């Protein structure tokens, strides 16, 4: 499958989760074994030269792509979740949302100084979640090499919030 075929597998859902939002639904892509395989293969092809030592995935759809990517690259996978979801001691970071703030957590001592980390999520919108995840990883001493996404909503300028970190997205709208 090509990137254009992957794009065609993503369904637009108008007015979800609220009126005026055009939601990019990845479930048809996940339901296609060939589409999912191609997505992961393209991510592997892009990420292999980065010489990663770990991947940090963002709750929850980021897990779906980060797990097979970590397996293919033979690197550890660490997960970032909302408060109260991780069972061990955590580091936390608070970040701005459109209306208020959010908090993300990562298990303490997940990463080591010198780790070369990829932040992985399914979608880049405004960039706040990815930027907060990168801060969590850096706070544990890791070098965040890049933030990667399956989809980027370019018109929301999320890359600006993540800069100067490089960003990669397979599909851009």
The pLDDT mean for the chain works out to 97
* 98 in catalytic set: yes
Q: State how far the Cα of 77 lies from the Cα of 59, in Å rounded to an integer.
A: 12
Q: State how far the Cα of 81 lies from the Cα of 59, in Å rounded to an integer.
A: 5
The answer, yes or no, to whether the previous bond of 128 is cis (omega within 30 of 0) is no
Q: What is the pLDDT of residue 100?
A: 82
pLDDT band at 50 (very low <50, low <70, confident <90, very high): very high
* 61 in catalytic set: yes
* Of 7, 61, 135, 159, catalytic: 61
pLDDT (tens digit per residue) in 112-126: 999 999 999 999 999
- In order of start, what are the domains of the chain with their CATH numbers? 51-172 (3.40.50.2020)
pLDDT (tens digit per residue) in 63-92: 999 999 999 999 999 999 999 999 999 999
Judge whether residue 99 has pLDDT over 90: no
pLDDT band at 98 (very low <50, low <70, confident <90, very high): confident
Provide the percentage of residues in the chain whose pLDDT is more than 70.
100
Kindly report which listed range (39-48, 93-102, 164-173) carries the lowest average pLDDT score.
93-102
Q: What is the pLDDT of residue 17?
A: 92
Q: Dihedral of the CA atoms 104, 110, 112, 114 (nearest 10)?
A: -60
* Cβ atoms within 10 Å of 140's Cβ, excluding its own: 19
CA distance readout (Å), 9 to 3, 6, 17, 123: 10, 5, 20, 15
| pLDDT, average across residues 20-42 | 97
Provide the percentage of residues in the chain whose pLDDT is more than 90.
97
């Amino acid at each position: 499958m090509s990137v254009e075929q992957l794009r065609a597998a993503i369904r637009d859902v108008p007015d979800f989760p609220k009126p005026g939002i055009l939601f990019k639904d990845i479930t048809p892509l996940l339901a296609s074994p060939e589409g999912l395989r191609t997505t992961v293969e393209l991510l592997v092809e892009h990420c292999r030269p980065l010489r990663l030592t770990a991947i940090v995935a963002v709750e929850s759809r980021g897990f779906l792509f980060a797990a097979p990517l970590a397996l293919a690259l033979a690197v550890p996978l660490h997960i970032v979740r909302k408060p109260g979801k991780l069972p061990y001691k955590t580091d936390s970071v608070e970040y701005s949302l459109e209306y208020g703030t959010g908090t993300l957590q990562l298990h303490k001592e997940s990463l080591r100084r010198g780790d070369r980390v990829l932040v992985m999520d399914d979608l880049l919108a405004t960039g706040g979640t990815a930027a907060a995840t990168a801060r969590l990883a850096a706070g544990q001493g890791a070098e965040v090499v890049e933030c990667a996404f399956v989809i980027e909503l370019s018109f929301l300028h999320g890359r600006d919030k993540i800069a100067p970190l490089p960003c990669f997205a397979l599909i851009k709208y």
